[in-house]
Chains A and B, each alone.
Chain A
Amino acid sequence: MQNNYLKISEVIEPATVDLTMDGIQKKEEAIDFLADLLDKAGHLSNKAEYIQSVYEREKLGPTYMGNFIAIPHGKSDAVIEAGVAFGRSPQGFQYETDLGGGEVKLVFLLAIPNRMSADAYMAVLARLARLLVHSEFCDDLYAAKGYQDIYNAILNGEKHLEDLAQSKS
């Protein structure tokens, strides 16, 4: 994987991270809540249109990943600049898809502008998915007390991924 692709640590920001998700009880509320953070942080030109792209993507395959993790995402003209929102729900909420679902406590919502190439888009998603395999990374997300801890976890995680890639062949 080429290193010039977007890194999560470069797009995550305090305004799009929420560690309590108060009152969120199901997937639709979670997506709306996190899209709202992206919207208020200036990533979206049209929140409703962006959310529609997320649900269109949901129809293609499940974004529930198991292990209390979901990574919904949408690519749309309504995205001004690429953004990532992260929500942690200590109490958990139901995340149902057409192809099964389950309880989710960690959710990353990706907003990708339409102009971004399909490969770059996939690479961001692939990077995030790889990160989430590592239980150490998830432990860090669960233990985080604030934004800085989340940022550090992502930064360390991405560094670790690159190390693995370098020693690959």
Chain B
Amino acid sequence: MKIVAITACAGGIAHTYMAAEAVKKAARLAGDEIKIEIQGAMGVENQLSQNDIEEAELIIFAVNIGVRDLDRFESKNPIVIDPGEFVGNAQKALEKAKKLAASQK
């Protein structure tokens, strides 16, 4: 599955990166293709292209604060999951995101 994710966390820089690493790890274990945009204290890293977003089968917002440039996702249906859930149990959080996405189709 092609997945794109954004991580951003009110808890600060370290939490944002932990979430990104956790999402990446879960996706790799599940055999998914993943691109992650990190919205952290250093600004936006690894920015998703419009093409990445259009092609994605699943869009995850692992955030507990607002997402920057939200208008890029206008026609899409992102699944919002607390970044803490990914850090706690990344595989479980990814499965939850997939289930939520499936139930919204």
Query: A: which residues have CB within 8 A of B?
Result: 1, 60-63, 65-67, 71, 99, 118-119, 122-123, 125-130, 132-134, 164, 168-169
Contacts and interface: CB of A to CB of B under 8 A. Distances in A.
9 contacts: A65-B87, A118-B42, A127-B17, A128-B14, A129-B15, A130-B17, A132-B18, A134-B21, A168-B35
B13 to A, nearest CB: 5
Contacts of B24: 164
Nearest to A123: B42
A124 B18 CA distance: 13
A133 B22 contact: yes
Majority secondary structure of chain B interface residues (helix, strand, loop or mixed): helix
Give 10 nearest A-B pairs by CB, closest first.
A129-B14, A61-B12, A133-B21, A130-B21, A126-B17, A129-B17, A129-B18, A133-B22, A122-B42, A133-B18
B75 to A, nearest CB: 24
Contact of A168 (B11, B25, B46): B46
Contacts of A62: 11-12
Size bin of chain B's contact surface: 20 to 34
Contacts of A99: 11
Given A133-B22, A133-B25, A65 B14 contact: yes
B41 interface: yes
Given A65-B14, A66-B84, A67-B87, A126 B40 contact: yes
A134 B18 contact: no
Contacts of B45: 1
B40 A130 contact: no
Interface of B: 10-18, 20-22, 24-25, 35, 40-42, 45-46, 84, 87-88, 90
Contacts of B12: 60-62
A164 B46 CA distance: 13
Nearest to A61: B12
Contacts of A122: 13, 40-42
A33 B22 CA distance: 30
Nearest to B42: A122
B20 A130 contact: yes
A119 B41 CA distance: 9
A61 B41 contact: no
Contacts of B40: 122, 126
Contacts of A126: 13-14, 16-17, 40, 42
A4 B18 CA distance: 21
Nearest to A73: B14
